[in-house]
Structure 1
Amino acid sequence: MNLPAWLSLRDTPYEEGEFTTLWTFALATYGVGDMVTTIALMEFVPRLTEGNPLVAAAVGAFGQSGLVGLKLAAFLFCLVVSLLAAQDGDRLLYYGPPAGLAVTGAFTTVYNLRLLFG
Structure 2
Amino acid sequence: MRLPARLTLEDTPYDGDEFTTLWTIAAATYGVGDVVTTIALVWFVPHVSEGNPLVAGVVDAFGQPGLIGLKLGAFLFCLLVSLLAAQDGDRLLYYGPPAGLSLVGAFTTVYNLRLLFG
State the TM-score bracket (shorter-chain normalisation). over 0.9
Displacement of 1:2 in angstroms is 3.4
CA distance in 1, matches of 2:77, 2:22: 15
Aligned to 1:89: 89
Q: In structure 2, what is the equivalent of residue 103 of structure 1?
A: 103
Q: Structure 1: which 5+ runs fail to align? A: none
Using the alignment, how far apart are the partners of 1:40 and 1:105 within structure 2?
A: 15
Structure 2: segments with no counterpart, 5+ residues: none
Code of the aligned partner of 2:12: T
Letter in 1 for 2:3: L
Q: CA deviation at 1:3?
A: 2.1
Indicate the residue corresponding to 1:44 in structure 2: 44
What's the secondary structure of 1:51's corresponding residue? coil
**RMSD value over aligned CA atoms?**
0.8
For 2:83, the aligned partner's letter is L
Query: Percent same amino acid among aligned pairs?
Result: 79
How far residue 7 of structure 1 moved from its aligned partner, in angstroms, is 1.5
Residue in 1 aligned with 2:55? 55
How far apart are 1:46 and its partner, in Å? 1.8
Tell me the TM-score normalized by structure 2.
0.97
Map 1:10-25 onto structure 2 (within 5 A).
Answer: 10-25=10-25
SS in 1 for 2:27: helix
- Equivalent-residue separation in structure 2 for 1:48 and 1:2 (angstroms): 44
- Deviation by residue 1:85-113 (Cα, 9 ceiling, x = unmatched): 00000000000000000000000000000
Distance 1:30 1:47 in 2: 23
- Aligned-partner Cα distance in 2 for 1:4–1:68: 27
Which shows bigger deviation, 41-50 or 66-75? 41-50
The reply to whether residue 113 of structure 1 matches residue 113 of structure 2 is: yes
